[in-house]
């Protein structure tokens, strides 16, 4: 597959798809987190409202407990009428009802109080507020199922919510009704029945205190429902008397503790939560519009969506105007590279612009140009190698050196120095054997013996002009080295380093160091040294072969030569290895040769 389709697929699957997927996952995750967050907040609010409502009813129960033992109730219910139509009886009832009015002012929520004595006498006290209880006779009250339930409670409160028992407590306005059996506080015998109605304004106030229509929406509300789902109170006073099932499918009336879910309420997406008030099975339900709750989040999501769309459009434009341009530049370079592979090194890429594609084109042009230079350099190196090998062949057989050595042996024979003749012949034989070795690499032991033989022959020829030292560790003997590497270096010291030096003062040292990955040779002398001009000539490796002197003359005068040794080492071992010269006039010369550690198994 070409680069451009790959870039397009990568753009789609690595940018567009993850970006869209991340947006969808983030939105769904935020919805879940928001629902959990608002559910927790609503639970706190419901517990606070429910706590206030429970405290309200507890306060009314305590008030009612006090009334049961008060003289207004006890004395009134112990009164026995002589005749309902008797004037004294009517006066007594009227006086008792006046006493009962004190109960009305014990709490602002008390709206209506009815007492029934066991003989059926009814005593009433009420405010000017509208009431809903239907004051029926005691015999008809006994027929109500609520009467039996209240008797079974044995004096505890029986609460009736608005709209629960409409035939008895009425409908409007919605009031809470409390029914209690009254006992004589001395004998604990039943003496009557008390019914009290309470206004709901304080409960409405509790419900509306925690409502925030601006943040939670106009459709948000608190409602109180009974176990059958009948809505007793609605903070908005719109759904009272209706059944909760007509507005939502959730079974909230049977909530045991707390429940919350996101469902439809009155065809509006809402967060509906329910909290059990633990009184008569009543449940406090919170309804909050989901859109209102998440209004800010929706705006944030919309803003993120617009940013995402903008990013997608920007990414597409980036892909069209930048990535494609880069791809075209790369494809152009690839096409030119194929021509270079065919050997056309005069190919160049036209650079346009000011970005990295220009750098790529320039680098390609530089690379092709460098390749041409390297090919030329390789050819030059091959010529140098051939020249060095030719000089090596010439250095293997040096007629002048050989003639001088034979003349020295002849002089020893004339002097009848048989021991010295034997030593000279042995050294010459070792020298020739190493020079004529058919392998390019030999072990360091052989190279050291070759140098030792050469130094001893030259030491005799020059009549103790110098002395030499060989410091070679035993472990170095078994590694390999290019043959005739060290001999040209000591030859350079003998022929050029000791000119003008007193006899016996010259010292040549060969030190070998075995390091972790390489072997280092130090060939040093205490001769006259080199001046800066001579060192610069050695450092200049760009001279052309045709400018050199005749090879035979060079081999005769200077042997293999320092330059040829350096070329051989660099060509054979690579640019990381080779030779370095440190010298100054009057301070001698130190030559450092570095080769890799190799045991040369073929040798």
C-alpha–C-alpha distance, residues 328 and 324, integer Å? 6
pLDDT at position 556 is 39
Could you tell me which residues are beta bridge partners of residue 160? 177
**pLDDT single digits (tens) 333-387:** 777 777 777 777 777 777 666 666 777 777 877 888 888 788 888 878 777 776 6
Phi and psi at residue 280, to the nearest 5°: 60, 20
> Tell me: the pLDDT tens digits for 94-115?
877 787 878 877 888 888 888 8
Question: Which has the higher per-residue pLDDT, 235 or 330?
Answer: 235
Domains and CATH numbers, the chain: 3-53+211-293 (3.30.450.20), 69-202 (3.30.450.20), 298-377 (no CATH), 397-596 (3.30.565.10)
Collapsing DSSP to helix, strand or coil, 467 comes out as strand
- Burial of 279: CB neighbours in 10 Å, binned 0-12, 13-18, 19+: middle
433: its two tokens? 């054997």
* DSSP 8-state symbol, 322: I
Is the peptide bond preceding residue 463 cis, with omega within 30 degrees of 0?
Answer: no
pLDDT tens figures, 191-240: 888 988 888 888 888 888 877 776 676 778 899 999 888 998 888 888 88
Residue-averaged pLDDT of the chain: 80
pTM of the prediction? 0.50
Question: Between the CA of residue 107 and those of 59, 199, 202, what are the distances in Å?
Answer: 9, 10, 11
Alpha-carbon dihedral sign for residues 335, 337, 340, 345: positive
Q: Which of 123-132, 348-357, 573-582 has the highest mean pLDDT?
A: 573-582
Q: What are the pLDDT digits (tens) for 427-452?
A: 888 777 777 766 778 899 999 998 99
Share of residues in the chain with pLDDT > 90 (%): 11
3-class secondary structure, 113: strand
- CA separation, residue 441 to residues 26, 244, 424, 445, 568 (Å): 71, 104, 26, 12, 12
Per residue in 477-512, pLDDT (tens digit) is 999 998 888 988 988 888 888 877 777 678 999 999
pLDDT in tens, 48-75: 888 899 899 999 989 888 888 888 888 8
Q: In 10 A of CB 137, how many CB atoms?
A: 10
């Amino acid at each position: 597959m070409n680069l451009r389709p790959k870039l397009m697929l990568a753009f789609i699957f690595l940018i567009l798809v993850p970006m869209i997927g991340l947006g969808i996952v983030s939105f769904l995750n935020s919805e879940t987190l928001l629902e959990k967050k608002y559910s927790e907040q609503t639970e706190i609010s419901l517990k606070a409202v429910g706590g206030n409502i429970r405290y309200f009813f507890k306060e009314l129960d305590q008030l009612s407990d006090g009334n049961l033992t008060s003289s207004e109730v006890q004395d009134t219910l112990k009164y026995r009428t002589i005749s309902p139509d008797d004037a004294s009886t009517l006066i007594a009832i009227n006086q008792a009802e006046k006493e009962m009015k004190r109960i009305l002012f014990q709490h602002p929520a008390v709206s209506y109080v009815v007492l029934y004595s066991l003989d059926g006498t009814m005593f009433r006290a009420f405010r000017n507020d509208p009431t809903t209880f239907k004051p029926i006779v005691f015999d008809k009250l006994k027929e109500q199922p609520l009467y039996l339930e209240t008797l079974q409670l044995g004096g505890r409160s029986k609460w009736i919510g608005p709209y629960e028992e409409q035939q008895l407590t009425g409908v409007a306005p919605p009031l809470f009704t409390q029914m209690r059996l009254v006992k004589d506080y001395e004998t604990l015998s039943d003496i009557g029945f008390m019914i009290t109605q309470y206004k709901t304004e304080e409960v409405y106030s509790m419900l509306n205190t925690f409502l925030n229509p601006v943040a939670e929406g106009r459709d948000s509300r608190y409602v109180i429902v009974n176990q059958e789902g009948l809505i007793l109170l609605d903070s908005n006073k719109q759904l009272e008397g209706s059944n909760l099932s007509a507005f939502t499918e959730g079974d909230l009336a049977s909530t045991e503790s707390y429940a919350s879910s996101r469902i439809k309420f009155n065809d509006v997406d809402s967060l509906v939560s329910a909290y059990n008030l633990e009184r008569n099975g009543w449940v406090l339900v919170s309804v909050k519009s989901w859109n209102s709750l998440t209004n800010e989040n929706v705006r944030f999501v919309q803003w993120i969506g617009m940013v995402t769309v903008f990013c997608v459009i920007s990414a597409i434009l980036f892909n069209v105007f930048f990535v494609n341009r880069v791809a075209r530049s790369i494809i152009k370079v690839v096409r030119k590279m194929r021509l270079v592979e065919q050997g056309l090194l005069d190919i160049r890429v036209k650079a346009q612009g000011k970005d990295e594609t220009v750098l790529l084109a320039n680098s390609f042009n530089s690379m092709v140009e460098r390749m041409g230079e390297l090919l030329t350099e390789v050819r030059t190196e091959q010529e140098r190698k051939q020249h060095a090998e030719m000089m090596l062949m010439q250095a293997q057989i040096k007629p002048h050196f050989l003639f001088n050595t034979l003349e020295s042996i002849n002089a020893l024979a004339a002097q009848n120095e048989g021991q010295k003749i034997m030593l000279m012949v042995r050294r010459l034989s070792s020298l020739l054997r190493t020079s004529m070795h058919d392998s390019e690499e030999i072990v360091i032991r052989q190279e050291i013996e070759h140098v030792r033989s050469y130094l001893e022959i030259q030491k005799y020829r020059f009549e103790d002009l110098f002395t030499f030292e060989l410091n070679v560790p035993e472990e170095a003997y078994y590694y390999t080295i290019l043959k005739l590497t060290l001999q040209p270096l000591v030859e350079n010291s003998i022929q050029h380093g000791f000119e003008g030096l007193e006899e016996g003062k010259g010292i040549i040292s060969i030190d070998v160091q075995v390091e972790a990955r390489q072997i280092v040779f130090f060939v040093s002398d205490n001769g006259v040294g080199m001046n800066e001009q001579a060192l610069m000539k050695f450092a200049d490796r760009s001279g052309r072969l045709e400018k050199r002197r005749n090879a035979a003359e060079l081999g005769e005068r200077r042997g293999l030569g320092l330059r040829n040794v350096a070329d051989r080492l660099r060509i054979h071992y690579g640019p990381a290895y080779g030779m370095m010269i440190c010298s100054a006039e009057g301070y001698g010369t130190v030559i450092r040769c570095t080769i890799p550690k190799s045991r040369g198994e073929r040798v």
